[in-house]
Amino acid sequence: LSSREFHPGDTVVDVDGVKIGDGHFVTMAGPCSIEGLDQIRECARIAKAGGAEILRGGAFKPRTSPYAFQGLEEEGLKYIRQAADELGMKVITEVMDEGHIDMVAEYSDILQIGARNMQNYKLLSAVGKTGKPIGLKRGIAGTIDEWLNAAEYIAVEDKSPVIFIERGIRTYETATRNTFDLSAVPLIKKLSHFPIIVDPSHGTGIWDLVPPMARAGVAAGADGMIVEIHPDPANAWSDGPQSLNEKTYMKMMQEVHIMEKAM
């Protein structure tokens, strides 16, 4: 159901009026973690000024260490919804647990499945029943075939469209956080009718590599990107080293818009 064989035309995902896969490059921007109402409002202001239509921010965080900040949970969901609504933006946020789907779906327009849950099949089936678009991150060591099968678990429920998110995979390389697999973009486009966006933030882990990889995402034919920004990356509660500040984000967005026009 997710393959091109079944559905030759492109699926355009309609996120409450914001179209993904219609030929324009959609940007989802915001902090890794929602840290408070003022912080997410400031992020939303910056995100929107650069042209992002969708606000990202995690309220349930899949942290490597159980001692690291785990997210503001429902309080954070309320803040991101409010910040987005004030500026007419849509929301994408991660759902980690089947038991939280109803809660997250109440506040978010897109449900994000994190890399660590790409093969959590019960969670995939359950989010597939919501009817909300699902942002499906590629697993940390996920092959293209495993990723497509994960999308199939969602598609088989016949309710929710999928947005693939390439966020890098683990390889022997340690100079970057992940190895950003740009070839996944044209390959997924060839094999599936669902849109694919890039995540150059988790794909590289290093803020000054993010703008060139965002431009490369446009060149590769991605339908958009999801990018981490923060008003003060040095003091971000998570993923500061890969977060863009206002100045670097605005510059990247100008370049991305020029690239998009040239395509």
CB atoms within 10 A of CB 12: 15
**Residue written as tokens 């690291």?**
68
Can you read off the two tokens belonging to residue 88? 């007419």
131 binds, among ligand PEP, Mn ion, none (CB under 5 to 8 A by kind): none
Q: Would you count residue 230 as binding ligand PEP (CB under 6 A)?
A: no
Closest of 223, 211, 230 to residue 166, by C-alpha: 223
167 binds ligand PEP (CB under 6 A): yes
In the DSSP assignment, the letter for residue 116 is G
| Residue 165, token pair as written in the block | 């998110």
User: Helix (H, G, I), strand (E, B), or coil: what is residue 151?
Assistant: helix
Q: The tokens of 53 are what?
A: 């239509």
Asked whether position 109 contacts Mn ion by CB under 5 A, the answer is: no
Q: 189 or 202, CB closer to ligand PEP? A: 202
By the rule CB under 5 A, 94 interacts with Mn ion: no
Give me the least distance between CB of 259 and ligand PEP, in Å please: 23
Q: Does 239 bind Mn ion (CB under 5 A)?
A: yes
Residue 114 near ligand PEP by CB under 6 A: yes
Among residues 120 and 201, whose Cβ is nearest to Mn ion?
201
The secondary structure of 38-59 as a DSSP string is HHHHHHHHHHHHHT--EEE-BS
Which residues sit at the interface with Mn ion, rule CB under 5 A?
32, 239
Which residues sit at the interface with ligand PEP, rule CB under 6 A?
32, 58, 62, 114-116, 137, 167, 202
